[in-house]
Structure 1
Amino acid sequence: MDQQDNSRKSRRKFGARLSKSVAVAAVAALALTGCGGSGGSESADGKTVLRFSWWGSDSRAQATNKIIEAFEAENPDIDVQGEYSDWSGYWDKLATQVASNDAPDIIQMDDKYLREYADRGALLDLTGVDVSKFEEVSIQNGTTDDGLVGITTGINSFTLTANPKILKEAGLEVPDDKTWTWDDYRKMTETVSEKLDGKYGAEAPNEPAGLQTWLRQDGKHLTGSDGALGFTAEDLTGYFQHHRDLLSGGSYPKASVLAENQNAGPDRSMTGTGTAAFGMWWSNQLGGLSAAVGSDLVPLRLPSNTGKAEDNGLWYKSSMMMSGYGRTKHPDEVKKFIDFMVNSQEAGELNKMDRGLPANLDVRKKVVADLDSIETASAQFVTSLEPELQGTEPIPPMGFSAVQDILYRYEMEVFFDRQSVGDAAQNAFKEIEAAVSQ
């Protein structure tokens, strides 16, 4: 997750663009074509050629190309060819490539899709890549029954970003995020919307992390380790009602503005344009959002029902992973590149916080020491959470990639009063249950 891959437009299209009709059928084609090797080649001068695909911004592309150059300098017998795109088109393309047995050798992976590909044999077991300097949670996040199929590049956490300038204009201070409650949040956001013309307390939730955090605050998970749903339609009713109340009370703008905001990238979001005091984002997006709005935003813990920091429901998430194509002709070279990406100081210094707080603890220490002020704030926020965290989230099951779009669609049904909160929750729950049970 980051400032480009989690754009509002991307999040809206995320589940729909790689629904089962595309992703599952495409990946299933891999299983039907046998186990023969594919991917990778040799150039005219005898070098091993690897293809590496990733999503992200222009700045990420520039940094990644420098990482490739550094790797090739150390490994002159390997030629890495980069392929990158924005998030919205990335997964459609990858599904098509896998179905046609033409996938890149090295794949930037998101945990929402890990099982979609791993459970059908499309990912390489990366045992042999050095993870000795990783925290255990970073290793677990990429491990399935098929082995270590995703190497975490960095970790991040869900956050509630606050804009101190807007709060000051409304006569408010940045809250104490270790003690505040959802009632405190409601009052603050209503005050902002009431006192400031053209500005609002908050923008709409970021899914599915918003629901995941809400459930975790009640000791539940969206999905369990067995892949089954860990919540009920009644839980979803309470969640939808919470957001409907924020809309009714004025914390959120009207429904049409929320709908438009979901189709905007970070730079054009209500947070990025300085029209919302609070927004739900991932910690490694803080720098890009601050640059967009022109002032430093502050990362906060989400409010809880109890006002206790240990009840905030946050967890460490792999911001993204490196995976290998299960049918690459050059598995050793793939592992060598991934090892360089996550373990070399040079790659770490080029990535900085863009792919999350580095998973390698030695690299992390070096990178954090050289960060600018806003990135340092993000890194310090993430590390400060550790004593409060109540475990990580289970690896999402197959079909999880549809959940995001389902939640967004039914939230809009509620916001536009096209369905009651109860009906929307029941219908959304049925769709989510069907998506993850197939």
Structure 2
Amino acid sequence: MINRRHFLTTVAVGTASAGVLAACGTGSSTSGQTGSAENPVTINYTWWGNDDRAERTRKAIALFEEKNPDIKVNGNFTDFAGYWQKRATEAAGGGLPDVMQWDLSYLRDYGQRNQLLDLGTVNINTDAFEKSLLPSGQIKGKTYGIPTSTNAFAVYYDPAKLASLGIAEPDGSWTYKEFNEFLTEVGTKSNGAIFGGTDYTGVWWMFNIWLRQNNIQAFTEDGKLGFTKDDLKKWWNLTADLRGTGAIVSEERVTQLAPKSPFGSNVTATEVTWDNFMAGYLADSGAKELKLAPVPSDDPDNLGLFLKPSMLMVASAKTKFKDAAARFIDFMVNDPEVGQIFKTSRGVPASKTQRDGTTFEGTDKLVVDYEKSIEKYLKDAPEPPIVGFGTLEASFKRIASDLNYGKLDINGATDAWFKEAEDLIKQNA
């Protein structure tokens, strides 16, 4: 899986002042005011990503400044892991940047602590957004995040690899048993040269989809776990017979290949992950073509799929420039020219205005077409996860990795994760 956490080290981009992330809300205007072309206010914007996203963001910022000469945007980015360390430090010191790219996993942590601006109090147009998507940026009736784009889970596969092994391409309808048999067939027919895939049970969001397929909530409204230990054991048992075989690549090999993914390294024929990683996978693997199929489900009428905000735009509750921040957010999520700059590199544009104003070809069209193909299966996006979810997601991956390594059995892994989860929930109650 392409991992946002393995991107470049911090690099500053943007206007002439880029490179120094100034203190939040520098400038002479009072709260909520903007400046003038002669005396623009400066807002700080930060995001995570790689050099490609930085270049696209630089172009979007330049376009915004051209259309809004009374506002300057000071841009800065870092890798995913470093990004949240910086935000935690800034939040503790009361100095979050004016506008930030955000991840759903961390929205409740900061929103519930009144560190993010209620965007319902400023002028941002959400008319062009699917109503089922907007709750993912809301907490207790207040809007803290506006989705820039959407992504959905999919099974990536390399048609050339399958053809070379004499394996038919999937038709997009398979049970977990059939999917496991498919992974096994790849490993067997390649004599171990290519693995079927990675251990998909180590991915939190795939587990979340499986829960939805079984009409089980991941979290309750009062912030508790909505599933049992038996549910998690069933999930981790799904690939028990595949571990240590040619069906799924070992965790040891995954670690050796990092920061590249096994799929991007041409070690596996499939990968289960978010659909907006297409361009990165093509670049890493050198494949001429990659395709997307829906995830497996034992209920053909319920694939458990949803559109998740691939990222959101938020503002600091302490910004001195609410109007400027709101104008920048509105521009980044709605402007059609911004859609043309980013295409699907952030995911499929969430705003219909931006989506309709964007031309999708080649790789981008594949992602857009996939999301259209699963429309009938889509259900409401989940609300922001519980406080501390980012930590729980990381521990899920780590403990599943220990399971794959053979360091823990399923009972031990389940007990270990539940203990961490329950301690964290108690701590944040």
TM-score normalised over the length of structure 2: 0.89
Match of 2:279? 287
- Following superposition, the deviation at residue 41 of structure 1 comes to 1.5
- What do the CA deviations read for 1:7-59 (whole angstroms, capped 9, x no partner)? 5999xxxxxxxxxxxxxxxxxxxxxxxxxxx8212279632110000001111
| Pair 1:140–1:255, CA change in 2 (3 A) | closer
Match of 1:119? 112
State the AA in 2 paired with 1:244: A
| Pair 1:317–1:6, CA change in 2 (3 A) | farther
CA contact (8 A) 2:333 2:350 kept: yes
Task: Select 2:99's aligned residue among 88, 91, 106.
Answer: 106
CA contact (8 A) 2:124 2:330 kept: yes
State the AA in 1 paired with 2:83: Y
CA contact (8 A) 1:108 1:320 kept: yes
- What do the CA deviations read for 1:92-126 (whole angstroms, capped 9, x no partner)? 01111121122110010100000110000000011
Match of 2:181? 187
- Following superposition, the deviation at residue 248 of structure 1 comes to 4.3
> Which range moves more in the overlay, 48-57 or 378-387?
378-387
Task: Select 1:232's aligned residue among 204, 228, 232.
Answer: 228
Match of 1:133? 128
State the AA in 1 paired with 2:268: A
Match of 1:14? none
Q: Is structure 2 residue 331 aligned with structure 1 residue 329?
A: no
Match of 1:359? 350
| Pair 1:158–1:428, CA change in 2 (3 A) | same
- What do the CA deviations read for 1:208-227 (whole angstroms, capped 9, x no partner)? 21211121121113213332
Match of 2:340? 349
- Following superposition, the deviation at residue 234 of structure 1 comes to 0.6
CA contact (8 A) 1:106 1:323 kept: yes
Tell me the distance in 2 between the aligned counterparts of 1:416 and 1:356: 33
Tell me the distance in 2 between the aligned counterparts of 1:311 and 1:173: 24
Match of 2:20? none
CA contact (8 A) 2:129 2:350 kept: yes
- Following superposition, the deviation at residue 6 of structure 1 comes to 5.6
Q: Is structure 2 residue 419 aligned with structure 1 residue 425?
A: no
Match of 1:53? 46
Q: How does 1:364-403 map to 2 (within 5 A)?
A: 364-367=355-358, 370-403=359-392
Gaps of 5+ in 1: 11-37
Gaps of 5+ in 2: 10-22, 29-34
Give 3-state SS (helix, strand or coil) of 1:379's partner.
helix
| Pair 1:207–1:361, CA change in 2 (3 A) | same
State the AA in 2 paired with 1:41: T
Tell me the distance in 2 between the aligned counterparts of 1:208 and 1:353: 23
CA contact (8 A) 1:236 1:429 kept: no
Tell me the distance in 2 between the aligned counterparts of 1:137 and 1:146: 14
| Pair 1:166–1:273, CA change in 2 (3 A) | same
Match of 1:300? 293
Q: Is structure 2 residue 62 aligned with structure 1 residue 63?
A: no
CA contact (8 A) 1:153 1:319 kept: yes
How many residues are paired up? 401
State the AA in 2 paired with 1:86: D
| Pair 1:258–1:293, CA change in 2 (3 A) | closer
State the AA in 2 paired with 1:212: N
Q: Is structure 2 residue 272 aligned with structure 1 residue 273?
A: no
State the AA in 2 paired with 1:76: P
Q: Which of the two has greater helix per residue?
A: 1
Task: Select 2:24's aligned residue among 36, 39, 45.
Answer: 39
> Which range moves more in the overlay, 426-435 or 211-220?
426-435
> Which range moves more in the overlay, 127-136 or 415-424?
415-424
- What do the CA deviations read for 1:252-294 (whole angstroms, capped 9, x no partner)? 1334224445xx23xx211101110111121111122122212
CA contact (8 A) 1:125 1:146 kept: no
- Following superposition, the deviation at residue 250 of structure 1 comes to 3.1
Q: Cα RMSD over matched residues?
A: 2.1
Tell me the distance in 2 between the aligned counterparts of 1:135 and 1:242: 34
- Following superposition, the deviation at residue 146 of structure 1 comes to 6.1
State the AA in 2 paired with 1:192: V
Q: Is structure 2 residue 405 aligned with structure 1 residue 413?
A: no
CA contact (8 A) 1:143 1:149 kept: yes
Give 3-state SS (helix, strand or coil) of 2:82's partner.
helix
State the AA in 1 paired with 2:329: I
Percent identical pairs in the alignment equals: 30
Tell me the distance in 2 between the aligned counterparts of 1:406 and 1:3: 18
Match of 2:15? none
State the AA in 2 paired with 1:290: L
